Amino acid sequence: MFRVSQEIRLNTSNNNNNAEVTRYCNTTNVDSENDCIFGKYQRTPDADAYPTENPLVFIAPELTDPSKVSLLHFPNGAMRKNSEVDFVIKRNGVKGNFDVKIENPSGTSVIMPLQIIDPERLNVRFCLSEAGLYKVHIKLNSVPLPKSPFIIISICGEPESNARKMELPIFKSDASCVTYRGLGLTHISLDEKNEFYVDGSAAGNNMLFVGIFGPKGQCDEVIIKHCGNNTYKITYEVHDSGDYLLVAKWGDEHIPGSPFQLTAM
């Protein structure tokens, strides 16, 4: 009696006393001269702890083919400590049970729980809690996948997702206090530089946005230059005659007179 499944290699093609064996092995339509094909077979446990008959070994073709299994989203290269590893095991039609064991840099191993996404895919997720070399052991029916264990390198430092990012400040301003001057807001000269100035020094702290829309869509080039103390010089050039719409905003609000209606002749 076998308490655990064991793998054996069997060749009964030249065995004269294989009557009992072939009775259980001949599950495929092959010739009688070669009832059992040489290959990998599974020897299974005896279900009865106290057998009343002579023990027999039941054999069946090996169904495990780890080479068909693929890993999706498995990380490449080094990852930051405290980052989360999240990948998917795809069966690609292979039947059986998967075992995933994580060996961390300190040498301890942890059996990972698997989340079933659908009959074909399993999800594995864990955190890199320390810096160093991680080994991911993946087995299908106790057979390691090719290239297992898979390697993940964890380096010190915060993950990019937790890194400090600059946030947009809360602006307090009044667009009605913005002033402007310049011919570029009253008429447009074709194929020449048109310019005007916007003064937001009395309007509080915010950002200036300028856009020009014409007969063929957006203006090719609008240059905004900060001259200091929230004063800006805006230069633009157009090449098509027709009506134009010039929008100038101080933050989210239009400055007085915006949008400006202009015509290029």
Q: How would DSSP label each residue in 209-249?
A: EEEEEETTEE-SEEEEEEEETTEEEEEEEB-S-EEEEEEEE
Which sequence spans correspond to the domains of the chain? Answer: 6-61, 66-160, 175-264
Pairing assessment for the beta strands 78-80 and 150-155 based on DSSP bridges: parallel
What does the block give as tokens for 214?
A: 């014409």
98-to-35, 140, 150, 198 alpha-carbon distances in Å: 31, 5, 15, 67
- pLDDT value at position 187? 86
Task: Give me the residue label for tokens 């169904």.
Answer: 63
Task: Split the chain (265 residues) into runs of 10 and give each run's mean pLDDT.
Answer: 46 45 40 42 52 55 76 89 93 91 92 92 93 93 91 76 66 91 90 93 92 86 91 92 93 93 88
pTM: 0.41
Kindly tell me the sign of the dihedral angle through the C-alpha atoms of 50, 63, 122, 142: positive
Parallel, antiparallel, or unpaired for β 231-237 and 6-10? unpaired
Instruction: Name the E strands within 78-156.
Output: 78-80, 84-90, 98-103, 109-111, 115-118, 121-127, 132-140, 143-144, 150-155
Q: Which CATH class is domain 66-160?
A: mainly beta
Q: Do domains 66-160 and 175-264 have the same CATH topology?
A: yes
Judging by beta carbons within 10 Å of its beta carbon (0-12, 13-18, 19+), is residue 153 exposed, middle or buried? middle
Pick one of 3.10.20.30, 3.30.70.2860, 2.60.40.10, 3.90.180.10 as the CATH number of 175-264.
2.60.40.10
What letter represents residue 114's amino acid?
A: L
| d(C-alpha 137, C-alpha 81), whole Å | 20
User: For residues 136, 142, 145 and 147, what is the CA-based torsion angle, rounded to 10 degrees?
Assistant: 60
Instruction: Region of 57 please: left (phi>0), alpha (psi -120 to 50) or beta.
Output: beta
SS3 state at 33: helix
In whole angstroms, what is the distance from residue 145 CA to residue 173 CA? 62
What does the alpha-carbon distance between residue 99 and residue 166 come to, in Å, rounded to a whole number?
Answer: 42
Residue 124 CA, distance from chain mean position: 13
